[in-house]
Chains A and B, each alone.
Chain A
């Protein structure tokens, strides 16, 4: 195995971080349309009052729990896209996530995987997921590593001997050989990172235990991504999950702590990176939004259009939405915000800043019409 290559030899300096809000995050909770009467009519009990939201424009505000993101919006470093989603009409979590992570119903592998492949060579830590598994979006990537708790690995001579033997045995295994090579290389690089430690910079404060386990873990995972970016291990794409948005019941108790976790975590990440934020794009997405009208149990059911955020990486910021309105005849199916914008038009715009790659190769079958985000 070669040198640790922490000097940036494979790093062209740009990293894409995809934060996936699993469970169908309610776009109208994240970014309530407080200037639209229809919103208050549809959500008499769980809605946000106009004065409670942080103003984005005459119609939209940020949920108060997302307060720590507001300064980044005002500074033009955060773009908000509303009524965005997939052209697939499914309201199944599983199918919607799969379609979205593939980048289209007819695509094979994941959109990030295809993107990484078209970019060419990538190291063992070219693509990581901070969770225990590699998400579908990274399927087909030249290398993808689930970080999990790998930073805890302790080196020992018996371990090195084992790795030596396994390198040989897995080397001839067609199915597992690639994964084994990635694992061996990642262990080595992370060992180096481990000896240097993960420390936030620029006074950034990631959520701690006092903010709850969901927030703490999200913050810890973002902190690790920031450390990998700073360590210049050649990180091109990172996937971070923030799960549990499926708010059928008592929405407030589900969504509020996750919104706080999201805002606090992203604000700390952006601060931690400092000037590196201009070379790091964060995209926040979810498989679908939720039904416009609240249900009987103070929750919302699966819907369609939702919200996406783009932070850093040279985004012009701002609010992007061709708002359909919330009158019944404007809604989709059982009463859902339509997906006016396609999530791939947001991703394509971001990818364009991360190297010249044909959008059609990444999103086959989708006519390219990137949004100005």
Chain B
């Protein structure tokens, strides 16, 4: 890598670095009056690639922050990744915005006091506010990834009340932790027990048939993967291990609490993936089963493939998947270690990987907010766009979660363009972009283009911008902005 800092970026030098005192108000990201750093070369550089792929968009000031400690760009990138993997507090502005969404902090027992539509709306708004405004972008990216991996559709049954707790206690808590902990938290999450019917998986008598729904998805989607080498018998035996785990749905104050009803647990001997579990294992059956599947080589491979698909390419090279899977196994499923390895693979850092991913709709929307420093309440008009594009948060209907390949989302262009138009035209209630200030702080139209495209605009982009009455809309709707 021969890039120098000046080669990747131009900008306001010392003035721009003073932007590091960041972030007030409910802005997705702050916009300041002095010019912020933007790319100055026609190809996407390493810094730009890392910032863009590991986030929901590059906000004004992000480049300065990454480069502030000085040194070579590749060293700065490594330092930035390390920092992102140990997230601290959110800034006051985002905390205030989140504070207005009262339900997201409510304990499990209190959630039933809320209307489901309010819970879903606030949870969705919170997701969008964090994606657009958090300084801990890599964590937010991982939260989105695990939310798909352990998908729970909040429009199913009591998930409407319970997904809020699942998001907080399962996904967000363990997003950068250990996979085994995340898996256990999900297995015993009341929302998951409702979503995949684990709560009614019981075998009080030998004649009763366990409900296989969760056990199947545990193997197929959450751990080994569909080609992971398990059989229909493994699914049925795994379901037996999990019988009796249920969610209280009567007692008012204990509603939503998860417990093992031993009378409904099948305590006979089971055999999963060739391993004997029980008899008389009781609650330990679940732990043995999760130990077994979390440590299975197919799980490392399955999770690595997913991570590489998100961070490298729709069809990631096998060598990178192998490297990442090995890191996952070596570290006992430590998500930080695994990510650190991934973000240093040759495949991730190669120029071919840059801007090779189509942003999914949620990403596209969040990045429009983040990159423009929009002021937003992330309210219903914005969420409606996500629904139309088929990626309303926490509402993907089937357990495999929203797909992460371009082909699934190409049909959403029209809606991205409509949103770009509405944002640039100030027609979206609850959200505003101060186009004039943004242009000014970027330092002119060409530099704003470089900020949004991740490189200087080419000839066609320049001429489209020059002739358009709605240049900001053109940039946000352009093919280059749809990619990360």
Interface flag for B197 (CB, 8 Å): yes
Q: Which residue of B has the minimal Cβ distance to A297?
A: B200
From A4-12, A178-186, A204-212, A345-353, the one touching the partner chain is A178-186
From A169-177, A273-281, A316-324, A355-363, the one touching the partner chain is A169-177
Q: Nearest Cβ distance between residue A239 and chain B, in whole angstroms?
A: 12
Given contacts A93-B398, A334-B232, A153 and B411 within 8 Å (CB-CB): no
Give every chain B residue within 8 A of A126 (Cβ-Cβ).
none
Give every chain A residue within 8 A of B399 (Cβ-Cβ).
93-94
Interface flag for A252 (CB, 8 Å): no
Give every chain A residue within 8 A of B415 (Cβ-Cβ).
148
Given contacts A170-B479, A293-B209, A133 and B470 within 8 Å (CB-CB): no
The secondary-structure label for the interface of chain B is helix
Interface residues on B, range: 35 or more
CB within 8 Å of A: which B202-234 residues? 202-204, 208-213, 216, 220-221, 226, 232
Q: Nearest Cβ distance between residue A45 and chain B, in whole angstroms?
A: 13
Contact of A296 among B209, B411, B418 (CB under 8 A): B209
Contact of A248 among B213, B226, B406, B414 (CB under 8 A): B213
CB <8 Å contact, A295 and B468: no
CB <8 Å contact, A296 and B220: no
Interface flag for A95 (CB, 8 Å): yes
Q: Nearest Cβ distance between residue A161 and chain B, in whole angstroms?
A: 5
CB <8 Å contact, A183 and B211: no
CB <8 Å contact, A22 and B232: no
CB <8 Å contact, A162 and B474: yes
From A28-36, A58-66, A139-147, the one touching the partner chain is A139-147
Give every chain A residue within 8 A of B78 (Cβ-Cβ).
none
Residue interface mask B382-393, A partner, CB < 8 A = 1: 000001111000
CB <8 Å contact, A176 and B390: no
Give every chain B residue within 8 A of A95 (Cβ-Cβ).
226
CB <8 Å contact, B478 and A169: yes
Contact of A146 among B390, B467, B478 (CB under 8 A): B390
Contact of B220 among A22, A92, A166 (CB under 8 A): A92
Interface flag for A131 (CB, 8 Å): yes
CB <8 Å contact, B407 and A176: no
Given contacts A92-B226, A176-B482, A249-B200, A296 and B413 within 8 Å (CB-CB): no
Interface flag for B469 (CB, 8 Å): yes
Interface flag for B464 (CB, 8 Å): yes
Most B CB atoms within 10 A — which of A22, A150, A297?
Answer: A297
Give every chain A residue within 8 A of B464 (Cβ-Cβ).
165, 168-169
Q: Which residue of B has the minimal Cβ distance to A241?
A: B397
Interface flag for B263 (CB, 8 Å): no
Residue interface mask B408-423, A partner, CB < 8 A = 1: 1111111101101100
CB <8 Å contact, B226 and A132: no
CB within 8 Å of B: which A152-205 residues? 153, 158-159, 161-163, 165-166, 168-170, 172-173, 175-176, 179-180, 183, 186-187
Give every chain B residue within 8 A of A249 (Cβ-Cβ).
197, 200, 211
Interface flag for B14 (CB, 8 Å): no
- CA distance in complex: A153, B419 (Å): 12
- Which 9 residue pairs are nearest across A and B when measured between Cβ atoms? A132-B390, A297-B200, A146-B411, A179-B410, A183-B414, A165-B464, A296-B208, A248-B197, A173-B479
